[in-house]
Amino acid sequence: MLAIFKKELWSYFGSWSAWLILGAFSLLGTLFLFFFDNDFNIFEIGMASLQSYFVLVPWLLMFILPALSMKSLAEEEQNGTLSWLFSQPIKISEIIIGKFSAVFLIGILCLLPSLIYFYTVYVLGVPEGNIDLGMTFGSYFGLILLIAAFSAIGILASSLSKNQIMAYLVGVFLCFILYFGIQQLASYKLLGGADYLLQNLGFYQHYIGFSRGLVDSKDVFYFLFVIGLGLFLAKVFVEKKK
């Protein structure tokens, strides 16, 4: 697994892809939070809070993480190197976890610029340091779980297709449906009492609790289950190609 993890990291950082994604993510976050006239602008909100950041970031990650993961398995199959991996003394589960870990790590690295945002909001608070640390750290924890879930979904999408573009589109679609689509469908209240159950199937309902500083074991278990299920299904689909 460690060898696959290192190989994947080198494929990302040895080319322009990871650097471009990290740069684009940082630039977009900075523009939306401090420069663009929009609902995410921290200065316009008038509060010492990073909550607008935690609302914005899932939408950026929804497009960025599938872009990172789309080549993980689809490119291997397209280039014929997946068969070579099968011939090596390594389990398919180790291949999946190694590739997932690399995408997840880059997703975490995307959050590093937010430490500058945190310091800025901390200093600008009246009085200085007037920021809800419990809510902030809870949101970071929820965001880390969301990154892991999006990464697992991206790996699953890559295992479904040998075409990278198709893997990307499937990954974005699945992330969008799980994060926003299910929540919106439940908000129409078409299913009566079942709307609550439908709502809890999506990412948003479980992620939003962390943004309030509430770390609920049920939400943590939900994300761990989704991550495990996504990686397990990816393993099943890869095994079928063996």
- SS3 at position 91: coil
What value does the mean pLDDT of the chain take?
Answer: 87
Ordered DSSP codes for 163-216? -HHHHHHHHHHHHHIIIIIHHHHHHT--STTHHHHHHTTSHHHHHHHHTTT---
Share above pLDDT 70 across residues of the chain, in percent, rounded to a whole number: 95
Instruction: Among 142-146, 201-205, 234-238, name the one with the lowest average pLDDT.
Output: 201-205
Distance CA 39, CA 45 (A): 7
Distance CA 139, CA 54 (A): 7
Share above pLDDT 90 across residues of the chain, in percent, rounded to a whole number: 40
Mean pLDDT of 212-238: 92
pLDDT at position 129 is 66
Mean pLDDT of 101-118: 92
Distance CA 178, CA 19 (A): 27
Answer for the pair 71, 164: CB distance below 8 angstroms, yes or no. Answer: yes
Q: Is 43 exposed, middle or buried, given 0-12, 13-18 or 19+ CB atoms closer than 10 A?
A: exposed
Type and span of the H or E element at 58: helix 51-79
- What HEC string does 25-48 produce? HHHHHHHHHHHCCCCCCHHHHCCC
Distance CA 4, CA 90 (A): 9
Which sequence spans correspond to the domains of the chain? Answer: 2-240
pLDDT tens digits along 10-22: 888 887 888 888 9
pLDDT at position 190 is 67
pLDDT tens digits along 136-157: 899 999 999 999 999 999 999 9
pTM: 0.92
